[in-house]
Amino acid sequence: MKIIIVGGGIGGLTLALSLHKEGHDVKVFESVKEIKPLGVGINLLPHCVRVLTNLGLQEKIAQNAIETSDLKYFNKYGQEFWSEPRGRFAGYKWPQFSLHRGNIQMLLFDEVMAQIGKETIQQNHHLSHFEQNENEVIAYFIDKDSGEKIHEEKADMLIGADGINSVVRQQLYPHEGKPVYSENVLYRGTTVMKPFLNGKSMAMIGSMKQKMVVYPIQPIDSDGSCLINWGANVKEGKSTLTARDWNRQADQKRLINLYIDWTFDWLDVPAMIAGSEAVYEFPMSDRNPLEKWSFGRVTLLGDAAHPMYPIGSNGASQAILDVDCLTECMKNNKDVLEILTQYDKERVPAAAKVVMQNRAKGPDEILDMMADLFPSGFTADEIPHKKLANVMDNYKKVAGFDIQTLNQKN
């Protein structure tokens, strides 16, 4: 089958590899002039690493990533109240990786070029709109800067993997309106510094009013330092909604002041923020889940289909689960409408649950539970382990990575 993939991000490129492996004729059209290693840290959870492993990529990813060993939760005084092993350390058949988004983006880009061919990815091709009829879909591309029409392409199916500001989604849902803003801003950065905890841990600190997520994303170098990713979630209020642009820079000094008291014996948060070359801001916004992603020969995938708060390490992982599902639906079926009906049936409700769980704080609900119960700190015997475990177990089920279900797969 001939397939147009709009968007050469993590979802689009993984989809190209996966569908090519099944013998389909794929082409990726990407808006930017040159795909670059942008972003900061990202996590790949075991359920999506399973898919990447089946594409033969696990070892290559591991070379430039951290295999996350555990996830720990702390209050704003740096007191630990929850710790759980992750990935293979927790008994999953597949690891959890923490890595630079740019690394996985470029790895996928190189793999598509090598496995499928240089012509597969057309950069500087911004989708302006599409048309479809009973027999085909036609995509129209422009140069985004000049607005000049540059190309049109016909195919059997078009998949909009064009991210949070999806043009495909906009054409399918012209009256959808603005994203839903959480009044939180996520400030993100990376800092070269000495490792913290065991060097492979991920830490969540504070409450949903003011949170910090910290994890290493590159192996320790020869002088004992490593690249640490951090994300500061701050409840800023209504007035702060900016365009959803992953590359917008923010005021570093203001952020350092907000976290000035967060110096713990295991981590110096203000020093970590100060050590970052740049700080990026991203308004925590999502969209209400859709009832349907597929219309005729056109569908959505990844952030275009289900933009969600970057909570619970699920943004890239859910896009890759979409890839897996769509590939499975295409096995032994040539009927585009049947394939996309099946894809919608499986993925629309599943992804909607994750969007809603993340809106309801996802696993990070336990931060607020502890902050509300013990605003001035706690003693070890006061920690309500069972209550916290319920929240954590439930999220894994909703997001599709509870260990019993996942480990039954190949």
CA dihedral (105, 106, 112, 115) in degrees, to 10, reads -130
Among 4, 40, 267, 330, interactor with ligand FAD by CB under 6 A: 40
Is 31 near ligand FAD (CB under 6 A)?
A: yes
Rounded-to-integer distance, Cα 292 and Cα 167, Å: 16
Rounded-to-integer distance, Cα 214 and Cα 199, Å: 11
Among 3, 4, 9, 94, interactor with ligand FAD by CB under 6 A: 9
Position with the least CB separation from ligand FAD:
9
Among 46, 315, 362, 363, interactor with ligand FAD by CB under 6 A: 315
- Cβ 26 to ligand FAD, closest distance in Å? 14
Among 3, 4, 5, 6, interactor with ligand FAD by CB under 6 A: 6
From the list 36-44, 58-66, 148-156, 170-178, the region that binds ligand FAD by CB under 6 A is 36-44
CB 198 within 8 A of CB 69: yes
Cα 229 to chain centroid, rounded: 14
Residues facing residue 190 across a β-bridge: 229
CA atoms within 13 A on the CB side of 248: 12
- Conformational region of residue 127, where left means phi above 0, alpha means psi within -120 to 50, and beta covers everything else: beta
Is 137 near ligand FAD (CB under 6 A)?
A: no
Among 77, 140, 173, 246, interactor with ligand FAD by CB under 6 A: 246
Residues facing residue 132 across a β-bridge: 137
Is 363 near ligand FAD (CB under 6 A)?
A: no
Q: Which is nearer to ligand FAD, 245 or 338 (CB)?
A: 245
Q: Which is nearer to ligand FAD, 362 or 388 (CB)?
A: 362
Among 167, 172, 197, 214, interactor with ligand FAD by CB under 6 A: 167
How many residues line the site for ligand FAD (CB under 6 A)? 32
Contacts of 343 (CB under 8 A, 6+ apart): 293, 294, 299, 325, 326, 329
Is 30 near ligand FAD (CB under 6 A)?
A: yes
Is 116 near ligand FAD (CB under 6 A)?
A: no
CB 265 within 8 A of CB 74: no
Is 161 near ligand FAD (CB under 6 A)?
A: yes
Task: Give the ranges where 77-164 is alpha helix by DSSP (H).
Answer: 101-115
Give me 243's structure tokens: 């365009």
For residue 155, give Cα distances in angstroms to 3, 27, 116.
6, 9, 17
- Cβ 162 to ligand FAD, closest distance in Å? 4
Burial of 127 (0-12, 13-18, 19+ CB in 10 A): buried
Among 27, 76, 188, 396, interactor with ligand FAD by CB under 6 A: 188
Rounded-to-integer distance, Cα 13 and Cα 72, Å: 32
Within 10 angstroms of residue 96's Cβ, the number of other Cβ atoms is 30
- Cβ 320 to ligand FAD, closest distance in Å? 8
Give me 130's structure tokens: 């599409």
- Cβ 165 to ligand FAD, closest distance in Å? 6
From the list 174-182, 191-199, 299-307, 333-341, the region that binds ligand FAD by CB under 6 A is 299-307
Is 106 near ligand FAD (CB under 6 A)?
A: no
Rounded-to-integer distance, Cα 320 and Cα 318, Å: 5
Tell me 33's DSSP state. S
Is 162 near ligand FAD (CB under 6 A)?
A: yes
Is 12 near ligand FAD (CB under 6 A)?
A: yes
Give me 134's structure tokens: 């009973």
Q: Which is nearer to ligand FAD, 40 or 185 (CB)?
A: 40
Among 32, 138, 220, 274, interactor with ligand FAD by CB under 6 A: 32
Q: Which is nearer to ligand FAD, 36 or 253 (CB)?
A: 36
Is 101 near ligand FAD (CB under 6 A)?
A: yes
Q: Which positions touch ligand FAD (CB under 6 A)?
A: 6-12, 29-32, 38-40, 42, 101, 126-127, 161-163, 167, 188, 246-247, 302-304, 310, 315-316, 319
